[in-house]
Amino acid sequence: MKNSVVIYLCALFTTIVFAQETPKPNYRQAARFSPENIAKMVHSTTVNPNWLQNGNRFWYQYKTASEGSKYYLVDADKKTKTPLFDNVKMAKWLSEITKDPYEAKHLPRFNFTFTKDEKAIRFYVTSNEEVDAKEDDAKKDDKKKKGTPKKEKKIYHFEYTLGGNGLKVLDNEKAPEEKWKQWANIAPDSSIVLFSKHNNIYWMDKANFLKAVKNEKDSTIVENQWTKDGVEDFSYGGGSFGKTDKEKIKEKDDKKYLGGFWTHDSKKFVTTRTDSRHIEDLWVIHATKSGRPELETYKYHMAGEQEFYKEEMLVFDMASKSKMEIKLDSTIQQSISIYRFPRKKSSRRDEHNPTLLLSKKGKIYFNTVSRDRKRLDVHVADIATGEVKTIIKEHSNVYIENRGKSIVLFNNEQEILFWAEKDGWGHFYLYDANGNLKNQVTNGPFHVDSFEGIDEKSRTLYFSANGIPKDEDPYYLHLYKINLNGSGLTALNPGDFNSSIEMADSNQYFVSNFSRVNTVPKSELRDSNGKLVMKLEEADLSQLFAAGYQFPEPFKVKADDGITDIYGVMYKPYDFDSIKKYPIIEYVYPGPQTEAVNKSFSVSMDRTDRLAQVGFIVITLGNRGGHPDRSKWYHTFGYGNLRDYGLADKKYVAEQLADKHAFIDIEKVGIFGHSGGGFMSTAAMLVYPDFFKVAISSAGNHDNTVYNSWWSETHHGIKEEADEKGNIKYKYLIDKNQTLAQNLKGKILLATGDVDNNVHPTGTIRMVNAFIKANKRFDFMLFPGSRHGFSDREYWFWKNADYFSKHLLGVENTDVDMIEMNRDKPLKN
């Protein structure tokens, strides 16, 4: 009996000791799941349909480990899926013609174009055979080095007739460079081409444009100047954002693109011009460029600044070469967006695909959004007179969500579908042409995400939405149809998964790619009634699983209010041991435009699955105020409190998970994020300094008064106040991270790119300065030559791994070399 008690106590003591054991960092396992290695194990996971013009047909490419890349042609009407060609035969033909060896599983990735009759495909292949360069190129080369003709690899331009038994060589010319696409805005009927040059509008006729397509340096090309009042920062088209001052000077005489909207008959062109001359400059310095460091100067409007961009809308008549301004109230600070006609999916790969006005009758439908983003008005302008009529007014006490597909014209433009959040949820409303509300089409506590199509004859609306099934994750997206009178709501691809949808132009069929974070991605074709036409593909994850991969675990807990459901995903080490105690790390992005929580299977693992392999429990989770795909209340929860709104939820969720899982060490909580996530992770350390122990904050907008006005003023809010004379003043007050610098208790690593022209390095530098002033120890890293997205993602991953390993696992990697980055790379002299 005594021996049994002793054995029991020893076993209990051993269990307790091991339960307290912290895992050792497993860098080797994390290295196995680098992006480079993942690309070897996982290939295609979705079907991206390329719809054809004739019939309900599309082709797609899908790559697997067993067969390589295969190309399929699907005819939805015939319910057939056939190979676009036989890979074995294609490899044989290419080998015979080019004299280069090909194999069926290792064909190059083709960039097909279909012939107009869609009975054949054309593509280019570059062989290893070297030939003399074309005469004009050779002459230029001979001037530099006589007697040494320039060589180039031989090009084959092939045509393959579908179902045929061989390849036809069309020519050996290179694919055209198509530099004209960078500057030419071609009328729908191709009669005239517009572009920007020297800040003004220029034009050329079709004949001269064809010369430019062949050779832009042709001295006989005639360019015609249309406007003369364009100046820098009040230009017609063009733009040089992201260019250094030196590059701007070098490219000052180049033709540039002129954005705008054509009438369907090509007779008129509508564009907006923005005056930003009064907006102050901002700068970054390119220190890593060769030679002298280069300055990059650009206009940047910061939150709370009194001045605002001034926009005008102009109509250009092709025949008379006249210009007319649409009559807008220039005294109001507002932004303008013109609605465009939806492009056909079957024309996306077309060489000529102009942007058209929404109306086929030449009317200009557009919206204006007030500076405080609380007022959105839909207008229609007379293209002949410039007179403007307001047809829909949308006002709110918080910001209004403005969506590109929010308005649909149909029934010979006598009816309008408009997306709005009038009742606290995103829904479609039906109006007549004069803006009179006829009825609400969709209705209920769910979020309509996007317009997908409309059958005018049956008066059926197709749309995607979140949150209709009450027994599944409300972020899962599905396709639905409903009658325009609000009846007959029908789910077309139901199931407990998230999906992405692409409908055919006919609205008769759609491709659905679907999965969860813990399922294998699948793809299928359905008809407009939701009936399964055929299964298309199932991703091959066999090599990933063979390497030890395990699916993450979705979870649902409560927000800090104890009522709101919060959804997240937990990522564990693949060698997880339940008797160990793991630090928990939160990967965060606060929104409000999105949340950093995967809903579908993803191979982007660095911030989640891969970091967990070092020896952590990594979680991603939403927070109140973090996503537009739920209610308006949820989405705007942080309005007026953009710094702190999501932090209580982040803390409470971690506590709930620790209460549920004994393997989580709630005394070792880390947090990290980029951009808004960098802002949030630093705020978490300073608002809850005794809870969050380690943070990594990259490219954070720690001081939103020096961040762009769109994000800050929209989601936090800005107050419009009128003085005694009626002049409007704007007040923007927001809490900054640096005001709490004295609260820091844990370890924090700050990082920024030195040429970040989105979230300027100033935000991070001010945070660094605040920590210095508060006499705090912290860490800081500068990424030379990096914009907002860090240029060396792999290096940054291992810096993250090192930092969390040192401060949460107690193991510091002191090797000078990044062994994990070097191990698989061949050594070179």
How far apart are the two ends of the chain, measured CA to CA in Å?
71
User: What's the topology of domain 21-40+548-822?
Assistant: Rossmann fold (3.40.50)
Q: What is the pLDDT of residue 136?
A: 53
Q: Which of 241, 349, 390, 385 is nearest to 301 (CA)?
A: 241
Q: What is the pLDDT of residue 144?
A: 54
Question: What CATH number labels 184-256+258-402?
Answer: 2.140.10.30
* pLDDT cut 70: percent of the chain above it: 96
- The residue length of the chain stands at 829
Neighbours of 557 (CB within 10 A): 18
Return contacts of 374-380, CB within 8 angstroms, 24+ apart. Answer: 374/398, 374/399, 374/400, 375/400, 376/400, 376/402, 378/407, 378/418, 378/435
Three-class secondary structure assignment of 504-539 = CCCCCEEEEEEECCCCCCEEEEEECCCCEEEEEEEC
318 neighbors 268 (Cβ within 8 angstroms): yes
CATH 3.40.30.10, applies to 410-540: no
**Averaged pLDDT of the chain:** 93
Q: What is the pLDDT of residue 15?
A: 47
Q: What is the pLDDT of residue 618?
A: 98
Crossing angle between the packed helical segments 647-660 and 676-687, to the nearest 10 degrees: 70
812 Rama class: left (phi>0) / alpha (psi -120 to 50) / beta: beta
Q: What is the pLDDT of residue 178?
A: 86
Q: What is the pLDDT of residue 720?
A: 86
Q: What is the pLDDT of residue 681?
A: 97
Phi, psi angle pair for 586, to nearest 5°: -105, 125
User: What residue ranges of the chain have pLDDT lower than 50?
Assistant: 6-19, 137-138, 141
569 neighbors 550 (Cβ within 8 angstroms): no
Give per-residue pLDDT as tens, 616-655: 999 999 999 998 999 999 999 999 998 899 999 999 999 9
Strand partners of residue 274: 311
Domain boundaries, the chain: 21-40+548-822, 53-171, 184-256+258-402, 410-540
Q: What is the pLDDT of residue 531?
A: 98
Q: Which of 629, 632, 762 is nearest to 700 (CA)?
A: 762
Strands (E), 723-821: 728-731, 747-753, 779-783
Positive or negative torsion for Cα 329, 335, 340, 342: negative
Q: What is the pLDDT of residue 135?
A: 59
CA distances in angstroms from 42 to 35, 60, 120, 610, listed in the order given: 10, 18, 31, 15
* DSSP conformation letters of 249-260: HHTTTS-B----
Neighbours of 21 (CB within 10 A): 11
Q: What is the pLDDT of residue 18?
A: 45
